[in-house]
Structure 1
Amino acid sequence: MPRTALIVAHGSPSDPDPQEAALRDLAVRVAALLPGWRIGGATLAKQGSFDAAVAELGTPWVYPYFMARGYFTKKVLAERAAPQGLRVLEPFGTEPALVQSAAHALRRELDGRGWQADGTTLLVAAHGSAVSRTSAESARDFAAALKSEMGFAEARAGYVEEPPFLADSAQGLGQAVCLPQFALNAGHMLEDVPEALAEAGFAGPVLPAFIDWPETPELIAQSLERQANSA
């Protein structure tokens, strides 16, 4: 059983270095919680990064830092891992503890503003896809689970790449908070999401991408340790 893991994200093909650095920093934070493990980070967008990280780590488990079981996790990443005999784990977005972690973050935001969940709308901003239902379904399920957990007045999702588009979902919400379902601070999170919210006149708080959540390294570390103990 390996005590090595490689955290892999898609990254930004047009500007791969910032996201590559962010993944490596995340790997350092996860490794600090797992004594005896070696953890690496790489993006698919950075040419040669995945193979170099695998060569350095040996035969690591591959941890997909993606929000859904979509095209990149089930096909692209699987095809990269298969020739080297690497085990690909379930992606970050499917972690059982993610809903509870998001609920804690949302409660902190609401408490800081003196808001009650039953008077607030939750807006989940997500990627969506023109070719796969997985991304949209994941976001809808996430929104529904958080509504059930916290008692929001309403929970809805809006997408960057398919209807209902985020600019439409974000209109006329009144008191609302936006939770972006994005792993990294890449193009969609930095450009498309704020542009859509501005177009809709959305004035509520917007939580950060998961890479900036203090709970994220612990979620990944707990997942790796749990799977190692059961292997």
Structure 2
Amino acid sequence: MPAAIIVAHGAPADPDPQDLVLHDLARRVGEVMPDWDIRGATLAREGSLDCALSGLQDPLIYPFFMAEGWFTKRELPRRLAELGFEGLTHLDPLGVDPDLPDLIAKAALQAAEDAGITSSEAHLLLAAHGSKVSSKSKDASYAMADILKRWGGFRDVSVGLIEEAPFLAEAAANLGQAVCVPFFALRAGHVVGDLPEALEEAEFAGPCLDPIGEHPQIPHLIAAALKRAGP
């Protein structure tokens, strides 16, 4: 039976809730792919990854991250090698999936319609992580924004970041009619704390979606990626 492990970073300070989220995500992907063994794991919870690997030989690895970076390129392969799993096939992370821009655009357009906003006259704000130590997160956010601009539907698309400029509180100010899409895989610290605080500071009045990694279609998107890469 083909197998895959969906791996996220998780929350080191409180690892259990995010680990359960990954197990539930794996279950929902498995419902779409009943002939596959789909498992979830987080790097933050001790024993999570080795438990997910138990009994498997060559599972595909799906990084539930929004950008390629240190965790996907170095830390995850290192952890797998320590557990005796070198040379596994790693898929591209969620944030660069070719089907993700269409999902984001449709979700944002629906949010605008539900709020009575004319999308062609409104702004789409992509709220993302950013990083003080690497440009990878910022670069991935801007790459997504560029794709969404070409996709159309909104007057303009811009990026606001939590950990570096352009900071979200400034990027979200004085936009007029706007929709905010959190470019995050999981509902963790930044999404529940920093993000709403920044929008409140900016007096952002438009709808703000759930983190895109929680969208109901994400299991189908992951399943499609696994089928493209699988046997």
TM over 0.5, yes or no? yes
Equivalence for 1:187: 189
Report deviation, 1:48: 1.1
- C-alpha contact 2:113 2:119 (8 A) present in aligned 1: no
Query: Counterpart of 1:225 in structure 2: which amino acid?
Result: K
Partner of 2:85: 84
Q: Of 207, 210, 213, which aligns to 2:212?
A: 210
Contact 1:147 1:154 in 2 (8 A): yes
Residue correspondence of structure 1 range 19-58 to structure 2 within 5 A = 19-58=18-57
Partner of 2:106: 104
Q: Is the 8 A contact 2:169 2:199 kept in 1?
A: yes
Counting matched residue pairs gives 228
Give, in whole Å, the separation in 2 of the partners of 1:58 and 1:20. Answer: 22
Deviation sequence 1:4-39 (CA, Å, 0-9, x none): 000000110011111001000000000011121000
Three-state SS of the structure 1 residue aligned to 2:54 is helix
Match of 1:17 in 2: 16
State the one-letter code of the partner of 2:167.
F
Q: 2:95 aligns with which of 89, 93, 96?
A: 93
Identity of aligned residues (%): 47
1:57 deviates by: 3.4
Pairing of 1:109-188 with structure 2 (within 5 A): 109-188=111-190
1:143-201 Cα offsets, whole Å, 9 max, x none, are: 12112212422211111111111111111111011000000011011111011111111
Query: Which residue matches 2:60?
Result: 61
For 1:48, the aligned partner's letter is G
Q: What is the TM-score when the length of structure 1 is the normalising length?
A: 0.94
The secondary structure found in structure 1 opposite 2:143 is helix
TM-score (norm 2): 0.94
Structure 1: gaps of 5 or more residues: none
List gaps (5 residues or longer) in structure 2.
none
User: CA offset at residue 56 of structure 1?
Assistant: 4.0
Structure-2 separation of matches of 1:62 and 1:73: 10
Counterpart residue identity of residue 187, structure 1: G
- 3-state DSSP class of the match of 2:160? strand
Report the CA distance shift for 1:137/1:16 in structure 2 as closer, same or farther (over 3 A). Answer: same
